[in-house]
Amino acid sequence: MKPKSRSPKRFRNTKRAGERSEAAFLHKASSLGFGVAKPWGDSERYDFILDNGRRLLRVQIKATDCLRARAYETRATYTVGKGRAVYSPADIDFLVAHVVPLDIWYVLPVEACIPAPMLRFYPHRKVRCASNSTAKPGTL
């Protein structure tokens, strides 16, 4: 059976883009020597559990290819009923943002996301001061 031909622009699917970023994260984290576990199903607030040899870390992956006002944007939130809630230390330890078009990864402790859940990344320019906009690609 031949796969259906789809135009990427007409059939943009954020869930599939997120799944691709999760697969890329799995490869990246395991190649860096982390033990990696994926929870069964998608009911947890985190996508992965990483073992860094000292402790287990709950990690949520957010993929973005959304460029608005010269920044790549994503949210540090999850859906609750018809609304949104901001991730907290009770939910996750780290949020990892993947800027898909540039294949750049940002690692943020969840505490950095609480005061400003709309995350904006400017990987194409140097920023002297701001909150999340100065986040540098990092490691756990």
pLDDT for residue 14 is more than 60: yes
pTM reported for the whole predicted model: 0.81
pLDDT, position 15: 85
* Residue at 8 is within a domain: no
* Residue at 1 is within a domain: no
* Residue at 3 is within a domain: no
Mean pLDDT of 100-114: 94
Count of structural domains, the chain = 1
Q: What is the domain extent for residue 105? A: 14-134
- Provide the percentage of residues in the chain whose pLDDT is more than 70: 81
How far is residue 101's CA from residue 59's CA, in Å, rounded to a whole number?
A: 21
* Residue at 9 is within a domain: no
Mean pLDDT of 114-129: 81
Structure confidence by residue, pLDDT tens digits, 28-80: 999 999 999 999 988 899 999 999 999 999 999 999 998 888 899 999 999 99
Banded model confidence at residue 129, pLDDT cuts 50, 70, 90:
very low
44 in Cβ contact with 38 (< 8 Å): no
pLDDT for residue 110 is more than 60: yes
Mean pLDDT of 116-123: 92
122 in Cβ contact with 133 (< 8 Å): yes
* Residue at 101 is within a domain: yes
pLDDT for residue 11 is more than 90: no
* Residue at 7 is within a domain: no
pLDDT for residue 134 is more than 70: no
What string of DSSP letters covers 29-64?
HHHTT-EEE--SSS-SS-SEEEE-SS-EEEEEEEEE
* Residue at 83 is within a domain: yes
- Average pLDDT of every residue of the chain: 86
Q: What is the CATH number for 129?
A: 3.40.1350.10
Banded model confidence at residue 12, pLDDT cuts 50, 70, 90:
low
